[in-house]
Every structure is written in structure tokens, then in C-alpha cells.
Structure 1
Amino acid sequence: MDIRSVMTANPATCTPDATLRQVAQMMKQNDCGQIPVVGQDRQPLGVITDRDIAMRMVAEGGDPASATAGDYMTAPATTVSDQCSLDDVAKVMEREQIRRVVVVDDQGKVAGIVAQADIALAGRDGKTAEVVKQVSEPGRSH
């Protein structure tokens, strides 16, 4: 199955200087938990997740009005090509123990995001179970 048939195309993105308050508002507006952080060329520099905001920034006493995506993003972003198969994406998620992966086009620009839920909705019950098991396994290093 083709990744483009299940990914969320043209996801919301932010730049490293976006405040975490702005990023959280984008997440709420777009009903998502991850925003790719991009440079001027839309190439991914990293990702900022709801967990980065809730656990890292809040736990460290940061100010969401002044803290930026660049301060708390996970970098570099794990990416896959928009030419990948769904099986290849699942393998990347398993290996990296991540629930979402950024999809890039042939120029390396953000084209979409694939989440565990996208794999589940594609009707890949066996593959979904394996991805969830591997991503959730404690104590594995990247």
C-alpha cells in the first residue's frame, strides 16, 4: 500500500521561533499532537509534540509565551520518503519507537505525516499490532 494514500497531507508546520503557545494553538486547531518544525525551505528541522510541551517545557518550568519550538523540539526529525510503502513506514516506527513520522517529497520538503492511527485505519490489523508492540516496548534504545 502507498504511503500517500494514508498520510495526512500538507500538515501544519511551524518555524523554530514559534512560541509553544502558538504551537499548542496550532495543535488544537488541527486536532494533532505533532507539528513539524521547518526551515524557510519547508525542510524539516525537527518536530514538536504535545508531550514536548506538556512534559518537557512544563516540567522544566518554561514559559509557553516565550519558549519556542526550537527550544523544545526533537531534532533531527525522523523522515520517510513519500515513495515508501506502508510496510517500510511501519518498520521505521518500530525501529525508532515513534508513533508518528514526517513524510518528505523528492525535494526533502514536508509533504505529510503518518501516524499509528493511519496504519490502523488502513485495515492492517496484524501490522498495527506489531507496530504498537514494538513502539511501546520499554527500555529499547534508538
Structure 2
Amino acid sequence: MLCQDLMKSEVETFREHDTIQQIARRMREVNIGFVPICAPDGRPVGTLTDRDIALRVCGEDLRSSATVAADVMTRETITCRETDPIERAEQLMARHHKGRMMVVDDEGHLVGVISLSDIVDEEDDDRAAETARLVSDREVRA
């Protein structure tokens, strides 16, 4: 199975200049906890999670209407290609302890997202469980 077979292609994305208030409202409306932050050309430049908002905005007592994504987003982008086998996404998720993987085309433009729950839903139980264990190891070490 390829990443393009498992990824969600309808993904909410935002730009670096969007305010945290705008992003958080949309995340609440569509009930998501993760959004890619993309450059105008569609290439991912970071990510923002509901946890990032809680710790970096609320935890620092920043005004969400005056804080933009670029100020608090995670700049590390971990991606796989849409034509990669799903095992590649699993390896990257495990190595980087990430529960979500951005999927890009050959030019580096975002085309989808794969979450750990997508893998658990589709893959055989033993392999999915091992990937989940490796991703969650970051919690044990923290």
C-alpha cells in the first residue's frame, strides 16, 4: 500500500501570518488537533497542534488575536512522498515520535496527511501496534 492510498487529502492548512485565534476557531469548528502551516506555494513550513496552542500561547499568556502561526508553530517538518510505501511513513513516524505525517508530491507540495489512527485502522494489528508503541515512546522518556 502506498501513502496516497491511506492519506486524507482534504486537509485544513494555514499560512504563517494567520493568527492563532483564526486557526484555533477553525480547528474547533472542524474538530481537529493538527494543521500544516504552508508557504504560499503549498510547501509545508511547519505544523501547529492544539497542544502547541495550549503550551506556547496560553502557557506564555500571549494574545491569540495578536500572535501568528510563525511565532509558535513547530518548524520541523517531517514528510513522506505520496508514492512512498506506507512502511516509509511508519518508519518516519516511529523515528521522530510523530503521530501525524505530512504527505507531499514530487515537488514538495502538501497533498495529504496520514495519522497514526489511519495506520491502525488499515494495517495488520501487530505492525500497527508496534508503530504506535514506537511513536508513543516519547511520552515514556519525557
State the TM-score, normalizing by the size of structure 2.
0.92
Residues of 2 paired with 1:38 and 1:31: CA distance?
20
Provide the secondary structure at the position in 2 that maps to 1:70: helix
State the distance in 1 between where 2:31 and 2:112 align. Answer: 15
Partner residue, 1:82: 82
Identity %: 29
Cα RMSD for the two superposed structures = 1.3
Q: Is the 8 A contact 1:100 1:115 kept in 2?
A: yes
Larger % of helix: which? Answer: 2
Inter-CA distance 106–30: structure 2 relative to 1 (3 Å threshold) = farther
Which residue in the other structure is 2:73 paired with? Answer: 73
Which residue does the alignment assign to 1:98?
Answer: 98
* Equivalenced residues, count: 140
- 2-structure distance, mates of 1:105, 1:72: 26
Distance in 2 between the 1:32 and 1:67 partners? Answer: 20
Could you tell me which amino acid in structure 2 is paired with residue 19 of structure 1?
T
Identify the residue that residue 57 of structure 2 maps to in structure 1. Answer: 57
Name segments (4+ residues, structure 1) moved above 6 Å: none
Q: 1:52-103, CA deviations, whole angstroms, 9 ceiling, x for partnerless residues?
A: 0012211111111111111111013111111111111000000000000110
Question: Could you tell me how far apart the structure 1 residues matched to 2:125 and 2:28 are?
Answer: 28
Is there any run of 5+ residues in structure 1 with no aligned partner, and where? Answer: none
